[in-house]
Structure 1
Amino acid sequence: MNTNTVRRPELRWMLDDVLLPEVRSAVVLARDGLVITATGEIDEADADRFAACLASLRASSAASAEFCADGSTSEPAWNQTLVELSTGYVFLIAAGPHAYLGVSTTKQVDMGPATQRFHAVVQKLGAELGTIPRSGDSERS
């Protein structure tokens, strides 16, 4: 099956620290919604769909930045989005230049330690997760 998915299995190791028992899947994606790598209970087609949803979620979340502006000349940068559903959560976190970490969990996840772990992975590996902007991308994350 030929898809637009960018697979970098050599980077899958960076998601090991994210895979708590309550984590269903984790996806590292580029700003344009292409999968860089994925792991957990997710196949290639679902990873592509999840990444596309996450890219859209990031864009719509970032569009709300103007409503949090503090009057300075620069618009606030988007950092993360959390979606709560009746059966779980979706975490979306900036993970480097034009790269993002998306994680889906069950409702039983302990949010505090899970969020700390996700952010630790992002901090530790942010430079490695970065992607080169594709044509048409602005410098804003």
Structure 2
Amino acid sequence: MSTNTVRRPDLRWMLDDVLLPEVRSAVVLARDGLVITSTGRVTDDEADRFAACLSSLQATSAIAGEFCGDQETPAPWQQTLVEFDDAYVFLIAAGTHAYMGVSTSKQVDMAPAIQRFHAVVQKLGAELGTSPRSGDDQP
């Protein structure tokens, strides 16, 4: 594990607000895919796998911003929603070089869930940020 990113179980309480009845798990991760904290029905190993997947998803989504802005100024990435047959994955910018990923069942009431996810991210963004690694130049 990088010396710049340490698992922070003391921050787990911050994710309690996202644990709606249809939320399966939530993870806060650094840009490099390392877990900062997690909660819900997820083991540490599962959180590590989820965070690695989310990091890749964020990088891919951010590149798609090149097609949403003009050639010189790509649209900055803020969030990604992935829909499955019976589930959703929400990925939201949660601070400098940090993201929050949440997995839910398909029965989640999306409007209040997204509102709650963004409230948690806004309220706690400063706590969730991580220091940039050498060569990091993207949010």
Q: TM-score, normalised by structure 1?
A: 0.92
Within 2, Cα distance between the matches of 1:61 and 1:122? 19
* % same residue: 73
SS at match of 1:28: strand
Within 1, Cα distance between the matches of 2:41 and 2:99? 19
Indicate the residue corresponding to 1:47 in structure 2: 47
Within 1, Cα distance between the matches of 2:50 and 2:113? 20
Indicate the residue corresponding to 2:79 in structure 1: 80
Deviation at 1:70, TM superposition (A): 4.0
Within 1, Cα distance between the matches of 2:43 and 2:6? 14
Give unpaired runs (5+ residues) of structure 2. none
Deviation at 1:135, TM superposition (A): 2.0
4+ aligned runs moved over 4 Å, structure 1: none
Indicate the residue corresponding to 1:123 in structure 2: 122
Deviations 1:53-72 (A, max 9, x none): 0000000000111110146x
Give unpaired runs (5+ residues) of structure 1. none
- Counting matched residue pairs gives 137
The answer on whether the counterparts of 2:67 and 2:74 sit within 8 Å (CA) in structure 1 is: no
Q: TM-score, normalised by structure 2?
A: 0.94
Within 2, Cα distance between the matches of 1:46 and 1:12? 16
Indicate the residue corresponding to 1:69 in structure 2: 69
Deviation at 1:6, TM superposition (A): 3.5
